[in-house]
Structure 1
Amino acid sequence: MIADVLRPNLEVIPAGTELWRVHNSRYRPGQFNPTLADIHFNGGRFEGTVLDPYHSLYLAHSRLTAVAESVLRSTPYGLGGKRVIPYAAVHGRSLSMLRTTCELTVVSLVHEKDLAAVQQNADLLDGEHSYAKARRWASEIRAQAPDAMGLVWQSRRNRPENVLVLFHDRFDDRHGRALEVVPDQGIADLGSREGVKELNLLLDPLWAEVSRPLDR
């Protein structure tokens, strides 16, 4: 049941902040993902649905966190101690850096007091079987925080760094100019020989590596 009144805590991300994103290579680095989640089952934790059809853009404050959030979902440790990421998880994907060109106001879910302000707890962020509930709650937060352009919370896969999601419909008056691409900073093809090599160096502190196909 959704509460009648929430009191979301707002945070301002300054102009000039550099953020990282892993995305399908078919998308431009700053393009919002138009895919909508299923109301009850499939889809990301904070993606829009047919009941609240916003497009989403997930970002992180470091490239390691962006990569970890993308490829370390439910990846177990192997016999050798490392987590082995299937090559398919990086094939056809890119890592890009974006920079904010204006202040972004987002709802903070980083601290326990922030979760309490929206009458939630860590299950909203950590629960593996409550994505549908998280999407419904995100819609209610959006409704009660009309100035919020997204949400920010602590990464589950590279604590204590933060990750965020932005809502495309809160950027209409900026005509897509709130984020600019920082050239020559990312990895254009994560599935290339050099891309996999660079990824594995990046992921080594988290005891993870991408498996290489036999032909690479």
Structure 2
Amino acid sequence: MPNTQPPAAPPGTPAKVTLPAGTPLFRVHRGEWPATSFNPAPTGRLYGGGRFDATEDDGYAFLYAGLTTASAVCETLLRSIPFDSAGPRTVPRAAVRGRRLAFLRLTADVDVVSLMSGRDLAAIAQDSWLVQAEPHDYPFTRTWGHWIRRHTDPWAQGFVWPSKREPADRVTVLFGDRCPPDVVEESGTPPVDFSTPGGQEWLDTVLGLYYAQVGPA
């Protein structure tokens, strides 16, 4: 099963790709947090958190972002919402409240482990489960993420993989303990604030492409 313990060592060579300086990144985040801030708080081993968060077993600050606006929205708001035969997928209003989309870019080249292809995943004894698993499996994906970090130390500054709900696009996690300071900066494009009428309209347009909508207040 894909959520078994990792082997002693990868069966192949983990794939390295470089995200060059200037690469645009897009991040849906809570408005009270700076758009460029890394999350310094480890997630519990067994509950909550994201796919490749730090835990007490491997502590590091982390930042998730999409390489397109669509992947940023899909990863944050749609990743765990299945289709409903009765109508469009509904994003809870609480999931949107206080959030905005930030336009960022890398200030330096960043080397990441590619988890994009079957060949990439096979090199680390995995398959698409690692990047497609639902949140109930995140304790296992975090264990694998820590293991990949150990076997790509010190060069791997993050991972890149296909967005779960928009597999044509990529998403990334960056590791604060391996990236240079200020590796991410705001691009100068004003953020889209989902609490404003214009921001709500923008979000409705993106979600509509994925047969989804924000629920009532």
Tell me whether the two structures share a fold, i.e. TM-score over 0.5: yes
Number of the residue aligned with 1:106? 112
Deviation at 1:67, TM superposition (A): 0.7
Of 176, 198, 205, 2:202 maps to 198
Q: Name the SS for the 1:33 alignment partner.
A: coil
Deviation at 1:137, TM superposition (A): 1.0
Amino acid aligned to 2:138: Y
Equivalent residue runs for 1:56-135 within 5 Å: 56-78=62-84, 81-128=87-134, 129-135=136-142
Deviation at 1:15, TM superposition (A): 1.2
Of 165, 189, 197, 2:173 maps to 165
Q: Distance in 1 between matches of 2:106 and 2:80?
A: 31
Superimposed CA distance per residue, residues 91-121 of structure 1 (whole angstroms, 9 cap, x where no aligned partner): 1111101111111100000000010111111
Amino acid aligned to 1:148: A
Deviation at 1:80, TM superposition (A): 5.5
Of 27, 36, 50, 1:30 maps to 36
> Are 2:16 and 1:5 equivalent residues in the alignment?
no
TM superposition score normalised by structure 1: 0.91
Deviation at 1:139, TM superposition (A): 0.8
> Are 2:184 and 1:179 equivalent residues in the alignment?
yes
Give the aligned CA root-mean-square deviation in angstroms: 1.5
Amino acid aligned to 2:146: S
Q: How many residues align?
A: 209
Matched-pair identity in %: 36
TM superposition score normalised by structure 2: 0.90
